[in-house]
Amino acid sequence: MYRSLSRSVRSLPSVRTRTLQPAQVRSLHSQTPHRRHPFFTSNPTTASRSQSPSLTSQVTKRVVSTEALFKSKKPQYRLFRFVYRGLAFFGFSVLTITGATLAFFIYDATTYKESAEFGDLSIPEVALSPVRGGPKNLPIAEILVDEEDSEATRKCADKPKLVVLGTGWGSVGLLKNLKEEDWNVTVISTSNYFLYTPLLPSATVGTVELRSLMEPIRRVLQRLKGHFIRASAESVDLENKLVEVSQVMDDGEKRSFYVPYDKLVIGVGATGNTHGVPGLEYTLALKSSGDARRIRQKLIDNFERACLPTTTDDERKKLLSFVVCGGGPTGVEFAAELSDMINEDMITQYPKILRNEISIHLIQSAGHILNTYDEALSTYAESKFARDSIGVLTNSRVQEVRPDRIIFSQKDTEDRTKVITKELPFGLCLWSTGVGQVPFCEALAKSLPGQKNRRALETDSHLRLIGDDSGDVYAIGDCSTVKNNIAEHLTEFITDRVLSQRERRTGSRKAVDTDSIQLSFGEWRALAKEIKKRFPQTSQHLRRLDKLFQDFDTDKSGTLSIQELKVLLDKIDSKLTSLPATAQRANQQGIYLAHKLNAIARSPHFPSAGAPITTQPSFLGKPQLLHKPTVFPEDESVYKAFNYRHLGSLAYVGNAAVFDLGGGWNIGGGLVAMYLWRSVYFAQSVSFRTRMMLAMDWGRRSLFGRDLIMP
């Protein structure tokens, strides 16, 4: 083998040419044919000997020899050559990898730092002992300790203060799209990280690790030279533009202070919706990373307890009964992930009796799971769950949760009026049925006029908090809802738009009774344009303006009376659904707000620097307020209203996924859809770091499976 290989190597011109140096080339013309390659030598030698009489025979001989050479390129030679090349390439690859590894180690070696000395830091006295003030006479954190840490932060210190409450999808969408050095950004939240919530169900069973879903908020803030305060927002003083914040210290003492703002963004999210069901303390939620940890711990505990010899059959069944309340994406994905984990990992590590006794049930109040998705997808998911032995209990309403069982009523599938009360013992019950308001928002909404929604803070279509006259407070994400009440704005529209236009046309101001006004088609078209601009969500319902005009001109007068117009707008209002409480919406709102704040910062009326700071506290009378709020241009003058664009919904249903892309575009399928689902979440992931970690997690699951252990 070795000999053959070496021959094949010799006959390889590619190897030869590499060693063919000018000196050798010259030697080809000499009379010494030895050590020459038979292939190369033939031509020049022949040339130089062309005048010799024995040329013919010689040349013929050479031709033969060359021919022999070509003939000798039998398949096995080609194989040898192929093998040789393969080895060469392999060697090169190994060298490349070794080189890359070495380079990585060299890079790695540079990342270890010795202790650094800064020398003296200049920290403003007012940052270390803040002046007190405001209605409650609390310390006012006007300047923070890191305000002068670097040249860049010092630059931002003079900019208007943008305070962001929360570190969820909305806030991060905002922070990632905000331009540098426009605002002095401060983020306040109880968690110092952003959590990639869509993959939270995967983290409960260890398909991915929680840490791969978390991005430190300080890293997100680094580009903006922003500040972070880990504390919880207690209330907002809209008049003085102060957020009251509190933090519990080591010894349990609660400390409150004010953070002043020029613009405030509320993105504190929502809690679960209790629906008034008693006993929810026995269930687990899936909103935070702590929730995911608790669920994983509980799963492991239950599995371990189910193995014990002292556990009775009934107890084992109970421990291994998993009940999910809520058939939305979170509930469905948790059930799917749980089923995956059981079939792929638990089965190989735990006694087989566990697999036999496990049950998963999903309780859904609507007639289908994933009921906001296209019905074809709901059906696909349901049939997938049926194959995976996940019991789907539709048309069921939970009545009560007891420590070890859940009591629910189910409508009969045939006779819808018949309701049967059933119960299910459980070892773990997940409660994931919609969103409810956090106490902070509840209190804020109550204190404001015009806030009528019990579930979320209402904003106008510019995301400004309704009831705040300054227009400098925004609410985004799950804690907020955009109020679409066009009909209520009818008089306003008429006055602003129609009458002023008529005035301009006629040149005179006439006192017109708005109730008796009649709109021509042209006026209706102009009005509709204005409505679409102010309420972008109405666009899809204001397409066929002529048809609408005809349909709602009930008296066929050729004009729309104010009553007819009201009916029309009411109809459109009823068609507008409230925005979904999803990561997608929150993120879009955050990005929208970032663009708006960027536009505001570029508008000519933007305050060039923050209000002057008084460092001297006044001990006489009412404490002096340090921060003087800034006046900004109106939102409408710099940026358009918020328009939510639904990009589709997707859900994982157990080694399969469903995509509802809207407009009848649905995909539901197995592994390929699952990989697609992963790709979407991979691409949406917040940083390169989390992406790398997600990829590693998925690879690890593939190689080693999920681990049923908990640190």
Which residues in 82-141 contact a second copy (CB under 8 A)? Answer: 89, 92-93, 96, 104-105, 107-109, 111-116, 118, 121, 123, 127-130, 139, 141
Please, what is the minimum distance in Å from the beta carbon of residue 583 to a second copy? 18
User: What DSSP character marks residue 284?
Assistant: B
Choose between 40 and 644: whose C-beta lies nearer to a second copy.
40
Say how far apart CA 360 and CA 341 lie, in whole Å.
Answer: 12
Among 305, 405, 571, 640, binds a second copy (CB under 8 A): 305
Q: Which residues contact 667 (CB under 8 A, 6 or more apart)?
A: 657, 658, 659, 661, 673, 676
DSSP output for 544-579: -HHHHHHHH-TT--SSEEHHHHHHHHHHHHHHPPPP
Assess 353 for contact with a second copy (CB under 8 A). yes
Among 9, 435, 611, 674, binds a second copy (CB under 8 A): 674
Q: Which long-range contacts (CB under 8 A, 24 or more apart) does 524-533 make?
A: 524/549, 524/560, 524/565, 526/497, 526/498, 526/501, 527/493, 527/494, 527/497, 527/498, 530/493, 530/496, 530/497, 531/486, 531/493, 531/569, 533/640, 533/641
Of 202-241, which residues contact a second copy (CB under 8 A)? 209-211, 214, 216, 218-219, 222, 228-231
Say how far apart CA 474 and CA 265 lie, in whole Å.
Answer: 5
* Token duo for residue 690: 């989390």
Please, what is the minimum distance in Å from the beta carbon of residue 122 to a second copy? 10
Choose between 1 and 709: whose C-beta lies nearer to a second copy.
709
Choose between 253 and 415: whose C-beta lies nearer to a second copy.
253
Assess 79 for contact with a second copy (CB under 8 A). no
The pair phi, psi for residue 186, each rounded to 5°, is -130, 125
* Token duo for residue 371: 């009921």
The residue type found at 674 is M
Say how far apart CA 354 and CA 90 lie, in whole Å.
Answer: 48
Assess 708 for contact with a second copy (CB under 8 A). yes
- Taking the CB of residue 526, how many other CB atoms lie within 10 A of it? 15
Q: Which residues contact 257 (CB under 8 A, 6 or more apart)?
A: 130, 138, 139, 140, 141, 244, 245, 246
Residue 391: helix, strand or coil by DSSP?
strand
Please, what is the minimum distance in Å from the beta carbon of residue 320 to a second copy? 12
Of 575-604, which residues contact a second copy (CB under 8 A)? none
Query: β-strands 480-482, 457-459: how paired?
Result: parallel
Choose between 404 and 573: whose C-beta lies nearer to a second copy.
404
Please, what is the minimum distance in Å from the beta carbon of residue 44 to a second copy? 6
Please, what is the minimum distance in Å from the beta carbon of residue 607 to a second copy? 24
Short-list 577, 592, 665, CA closest to 635: 592
Choose between 536 and 654: whose C-beta lies nearer to a second copy.
654
Residue in this structure with the two tokens 């917040």, named with its chain if needed: 686
Cα angle value 334/194/254 (rounded, 5°): 105
Question: Applying CB under 8 A, which part among 6-14, 325-333, 365-373, 586-594 lies near a second copy?
Answer: 6-14
* Token duo for residue 157: 């210190």
Short-list 580, 521, 510, CA closest to 552: 521
Q: How far apart are the first and last CA of the chain?
A: 55
Choose between 191 and 240: whose C-beta lies nearer to a second copy.
191
Of 9-48, which residues contact a second copy (CB under 8 A)? 12-14, 16-17, 20, 22, 25, 29, 42-44, 46-48
Please, what is the minimum distance in Å from the beta carbon of residue 575 to a second copy? 42
Among 235, 297, 343, 501, binds a second copy (CB under 8 A): 343
Please, what is the minimum distance in Å from the beta carbon of residue 163 to a second copy? 13
Please, what is the minimum distance in Å from the beta carbon of residue 495 to a second copy? 47
Element at 230 (helix H, strand E): strand 227-230
* Coarse DSSP helix, strand, coil percentages of the chain, rounded to the nearest 5 percent: 45, 15, 40
Beta strand ranges found along 570-665 (DSSP E): 649-652, 657-660
Among 1, 3, 70, 683, binds a second copy (CB under 8 A): 70
Of 611-630, which residues contact a second copy (CB under 8 A)? none
Residue in this structure with the two tokens 């809690």, named with its chain if needed: 271
Q: Which residues contact 570 (CB under 8 A, 6 or more apart)?
A: 487
* Site size with a second copy, rule: CB under 8 A: 132
Please, what is the minimum distance in Å from the beta carbon of residue 322 to a second copy? 14
In the chain, the largest separation of any two C-alpha atoms, in whole Å, equals 126
Of 186-205, which residues contact a second copy (CB under 8 A)? 192-193
Say how far apart CA 529 and CA 128 lie, in whole Å.
Answer: 54
Please, what is the minimum distance in Å from the beta carbon of residue 115 to a second copy? 5
Please, what is the minimum distance in Å from the beta carbon of residue 541 to a second copy? 43
Binding mask 323-342 for a second copy (x = CB under 8 A): ----------------xx--
Among 308, 376, 631, 647, binds a second copy (CB under 8 A): 308
Of 241-300, which residues contact a second copy (CB under 8 A)? 247, 249-251, 255-257, 289-290, 292-293, 300
Question: Applying CB under 8 A, which part among 262-270, 499-507, 584-592, 686-694 lies near a second copy?
Answer: 686-694
Binding mask 357-396 for a second copy (x = CB under 8 A): ------------------------------xxx-------
Residue in this structure with the two tokens 């009201």, named with its chain if needed: 566
Say how far apart CA 649 and CA 106 lie, in whole Å.
Answer: 45
Of 412-471, which residues contact a second copy (CB under 8 A)? 427
Assess 50 for contact with a second copy (CB under 8 A). yes
- Taking the CB of residue 476, how many other CB atoms lie within 10 A of it? 32
Contact assessment for residue 626 and residue 131, using Cβ atoms and an 8 Å cutoff? yes
Please, what is the minimum distance in Å from the beta carbon of residue 577 to a second copy? 34
Say how far apart CA 445 and CA 465 lie, in whole Å.
Answer: 9
Among 9, 307, 407, 576, binds a second copy (CB under 8 A): 307
Please, what is the minimum distance in Å from the beta carbon of residue 440 to a second copy? 19
Choose between 125 and 492: whose C-beta lies nearer to a second copy.
125
Contact assessment for residue 319 and residue 306, using Cβ atoms and an 8 Å cutoff? yes
Of 149-168, which residues contact a second copy (CB under 8 A)? 149
Choose between 541 and 706: whose C-beta lies nearer to a second copy.
706
Choose between 74 and 454: whose C-beta lies nearer to a second copy.
74
Question: Applying CB under 8 A, which part among 143-151, 173-181, 391-399, 522-530 lies near a second copy?
Answer: 143-151
Among 405, 489, 533, 700, binds a second copy (CB under 8 A): 700
- Taking the CB of residue 269, how many other CB atoms lie within 10 A of it? 25
Choose between 6 and 93: whose C-beta lies nearer to a second copy.
93
Cα angle value 464/191/222 (rounded, 5°): 80
Assess 60 for contact with a second copy (CB under 8 A). yes
Give whole-number Cα distances, 244 to 23, 634, 663, in Å.
86, 26, 45
User: What DSSP character marks residue 91?
Assistant: H
